[in-house]
């Protein structure tokens, strides 16, 4: 059996019943947990002994995601030290102030110095810091085209599409369904602007997690026959200015920030 290096490859060998006997909500979540070393194959009662033996020898486990993010942060900070910030600023059309490159993220300024250290009045977390440093290092500085496409149509999205749909779009919809007014108030704090004529959604809002990487969030309210729906579209130039994994991390970071703000500002202090 060939090496299994990511959750999708392991998922193909599972029975896909989503029985939850492993105490996780789906077989895909179980596959992610196994690859990250948080679960073992023994936690799935549907895997027989032969399959267990074959899979155990093939799985290449990764570090936990938090560890991977810390490693990425360290690597990117080292790379920042080796570049000319002024040249990078010209490439991505960003200003330099007091020797630091200034990047607008969700309506807030993030300043990055020559050592990769980041300063902002906004809450910082690796979900945002990693994509932001990646943007400084690798963005081509291409202006968005105005042509919107779903995540799964972006180059290289195959490996990440299931994660994006579950961890970004579905998780964001749960918040929007439960705290609709507060959800849109938070997006307005992030500088969201209404966009018409692209979809028939009840709400279509553009936000800019990075200057040249806009997200278009569409939300349809639930009705008697039709359930609520949320999706996120991207400019077709998105992967020119951010890799596909940083785009996923940006989506996760956005959800995490909204969650924290909902808990802080909701009437009962609860998410759901």
Residue 102's beta-bridge partner residues?
A: 111
Do 173 and 223 lie in a common domain? Answer: yes
The CA-atom distances, in angstroms, between 25 and each of 62, 111, 251 are: 21, 39, 20
pLDDT of 184 reads 96
Residue 130, judged by CB atoms within 10 A of its CB (0-12, 13-18, 19+), counts as buried
Specify the DSSP class assigned to residue 155: T
Q: Report yes or no on 37 lying in a domain.
A: yes
Do 54 and 72 lie in a common domain? Answer: no
> Considering its fold, how many domains does the chain have in total?
3
Do 157 and 232 lie in a common domain? Answer: yes
Q: Of 39, 58, 77, which one is at a domain's C-terminal end?
A: 58
pLDDT of 5 reads 81
Going by C-alpha positions, the residue among 179, 188, 184 that lies closest to residue 201 is 184
Do 79 and 118 lie in a common domain? Answer: yes
Domain that holds residue 227: 148-265
Q: Of 138, 162, 196, which one is at a domain's C-terminal end?
A: 138
Q: Of 138, 162, 189, which one is at a domain's C-terminal end?
A: 138
pLDDT of 42 reads 87
pLDDT of 223 reads 87
Q: Report yes or no on 270 lying in a domain.
A: no
Residue 52, judged by CB atoms within 10 A of its CB (0-12, 13-18, 19+), counts as middle
Each residue's pLDDT expressed in tens, for the chain with a length of 272 residues: 688 888 888 888 999 999 988 888 889 888 888 887 778 888 898 998 888 888 888 887 665 566 667 788 888 999 999 999 999 999 999 999 999 999 998 888 999 999 999 998 776 677 788 899 999 999 999 999 999 999 999 999 988 898 899 989 999 999 999 999 999 999 999 999 999 999 999 999 999 999 999 999 999 999 888 899 999 999 999 999 998 988 998 998 899 889 888 988 877 666 55
Do 54 and 69 lie in a common domain? Answer: no
pLDDT of 82 reads 94
Q: Report yes or no on 143 lying in a domain.
A: no
Q: At what angle do helices 180-189 and 171-178 cross, to 10 degrees?
A: 110
Residue 224, judged by CB atoms within 10 A of its CB (0-12, 13-18, 19+), counts as exposed
pLDDT of 126 reads 74
pLDDT of 235 reads 97
């Amino acid at each position: 059996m060939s090496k299994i290096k990511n959750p999708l490859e392991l998922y193909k060998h599972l029975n896909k019943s989503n029985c939850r006997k492993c105490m996780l909500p789906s077989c895909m979540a179980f596959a992610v947990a196994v690859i990250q070393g948080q679960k073992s194959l023994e936690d799935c009662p549907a895997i027989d002994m032969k399959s267990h033996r074959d899979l155990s020898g093939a799985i290449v486990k990764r570090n936990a995601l938090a560890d991977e993010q810390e490693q990425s942060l360290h690597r990117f900070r080292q790379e920042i030290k080796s570049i000319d910030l002024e040249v990078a600023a010209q490439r991505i059309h960003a200003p330099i102030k007091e020797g630091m490159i200034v990047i607008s993220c969700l309506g807030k300024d993030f300043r990055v110095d020559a050592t990769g250290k980041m300063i902002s009045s906004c809450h910082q977390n690796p979900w945002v810091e990693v994509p932001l440093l990646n943007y400084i290092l690798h963005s081509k500085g291409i202006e968005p085209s105005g042509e919107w496409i779903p995540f799964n149509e972006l180059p290289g999205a195959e490996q990440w599409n299931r994660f994006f749909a579950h961890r970004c779009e579905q998780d964001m919809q749960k918040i929007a369904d439960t705290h609709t007014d507060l959800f849109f108030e938070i997006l307005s704090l992030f500088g969201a602007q209404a966009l018409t004529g692209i979809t028939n959604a009840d709400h279509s809002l553009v936000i800019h997690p990075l200057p040249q990487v806009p997200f278009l969030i569409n939300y349809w309210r639930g009705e008697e026959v039709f359930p609520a729906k949320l999706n996120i579209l991207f400019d077709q130039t998105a992967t020119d200015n951010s890799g596909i994994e940083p785009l996923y991390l940006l989506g996760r970071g956005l959800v995490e920030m909204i969650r924290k703000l909902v808990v802080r500002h909701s009437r009962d202090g609860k998410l759901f």
